[in-house]
Amino acid sequence: MTRIVGITDQAREQLEAAFHWWRENRSESQAVKWYNLFLDAIESIKNNPEKYPLSPENKSFPFEIRELRFGVGRHKTHRAVFTIRPDMVLVIAVRHMAQQAICPEDV
């Protein structure tokens, strides 16, 4: 089955905010590298979304949520939280690993 990857407006805003943080606190080139690699990783979810672990918040949601943990290098700094639909993988949140867990009211 061929799925597409969708990103909610909220998740896209969170991704953009993280990019701006990287740009302001690291460098423009590191921010661009991080952003592009994270987008590539998000896009790759569609190939086998079931292989990713359930998100720690999964039991709080009325639908299944999973997460992709991402970082440049060995240290994972962010995660893309997503749900699997028949024709789509939908990213509902992009969070730093240190941020609080999400709840249904957040999405």
Structure confidence by residue, pLDDT tens digits, 47-74: 999 999 999 999 999 999 999 999 988 8
d(CA 58, CA 40): 24
Domains (range + CATH), the chain:
4-106 (3.30.2310.20)
pLDDT tens, position by position, 3-48:
999 999 999 999 999 999 999 999 999 999 999 999 999 999 999 9
For the chain, give me the number of helices (H) and strands (E)?
A: 2, 4
